[in-house]
A and B are shown apart, each in its own frame.
Chain A
Amino acid sequence: QQQVKQSPQSLIVQKGGISIINCAYENTAFDYFPWYQQFPGKGPALLIAIRPDVSEKKEGRFTISFNKSAKQFSLHIMDSQPGDSATYFCAANTNAGKSTFGDGTTLTVKP
């Protein structure tokens, strides 16, 4: 049973455009929702995270939108740049010490 569903699997965006990646979860015990960014040959690194008591969090060009009733959250990358080309993973955590990851989205930003 996949607890976190991520879409799309891949995404191509023109430079300056908006990239949107969506995730949906099932377990209402999740209480922390981070996004990780992974470049080729490297491990994932925390990009931005949100708690379920807020509906939006913005850090620079990156914004998480969170809809608790729908059990969905999304990552928006404004003014996408070629340097943003990477694989993005959403995750859902419980305080018990484990993260459940989505399958990842490969983003390509064309110059």
Chain B
Amino acid sequence: NAGVTQTPKFRVLKTGQSMTLLCAQDMNHEYMYWYRQDPGMGLRLIHYSVGEGTTAKGEVPDGYNVSRLKKQNFLLGLESAAPSQTSVYFCASSYSGTGFNSPLHFGNGTRLTVT
């Protein structure tokens, strides 16, 4: 049981380049999330999805797009990377929202550097 798998693990981009981060979960969870983690700033929500075909903006959505075409996959896209997007990106999933008995399950992150 792999849980939440993120690819790639590391990536270096030049300013203006684009890329897509892939998140896959095998737990049949309805909700999926993308967070970024920066030193001293905790985890900030970028976008999330409450089910296949749905997406919604989180706390810091600018410069990112997402898609949830299949229930098990949640893609995060950067159309024109900027140095401010240098961060560690975490995908998470949960069975149904974030209530009791529905904790977040995180992947191991993608470390992105934009030069």
Listed in ascending order, the chain A residues whose CB lies under 8 Å from chain B are 6, 9, 31-32, 34, 36, 41-46, 49, 51, 89, 93-99, 101-104
**Contact among B31, B40, B108 with A41 in the assembled complex (CB-CB below 8 Å):** B108
Chain B positions 1 through 39: 1 when the CB is less than 8 Å from some CB of chain A, otherwise 0: 000100000000000000000000000000100000000
Structural contact, B48 and A34, CB atoms closer than 8 A: no
Nearest opposing residue in chain A for B30, CB measure: A97
Give the dominant DSSP class at B's interface.
loop
How large, as a class, is the contact surface on chain B? 20 to 34
Given contacts A43-B109, A97-B48, A98-B58, contact A32 B98 (CB under 8 A): yes
Given contacts A41-B108, A43-B108, A103-B42, contact A93 B90 (CB under 8 A): no
Listed in ascending order, the chain B residues whose CB lies under 8 Å from chain A are 4, 31, 40-45, 48, 50, 58, 90, 92, 94, 97-100, 103-104, 106-109
The 7 closest A-B pairs by CB, nearest first: A43-B106, A97-B97, A93-B98, A46-B103, A103-B42, A101-B43, A101-B42
Structural contact, B42 and A104, CB atoms closer than 8 A: yes
14 contacts between A and B (CB under 8 A): A31-B99, A32-B99, A32-B100, A34-B104, A42-B108, A44-B43, A93-B99, A97-B48, A97-B50, A97-B94, A97-B97, A98-B45, A98-B48, A101-B44
User: Which residues from chain B contact A97 at a C-beta distance below 8 Å?
Assistant: 31, 48, 50, 94, 97-98
Given contacts A32-B98, A95-B97, A95-B98, contact A43 B92 (CB under 8 A): yes
Report the Cα distance A12→B88, complex, angstroms: 25
User: Which residues from chain A contact B98 at a C-beta distance below 8 Å?
Assistant: 32, 93-99
Structural contact, A9 and B103, CB atoms closer than 8 A: no
Structural contact, B48 and A51, CB atoms closer than 8 A: no
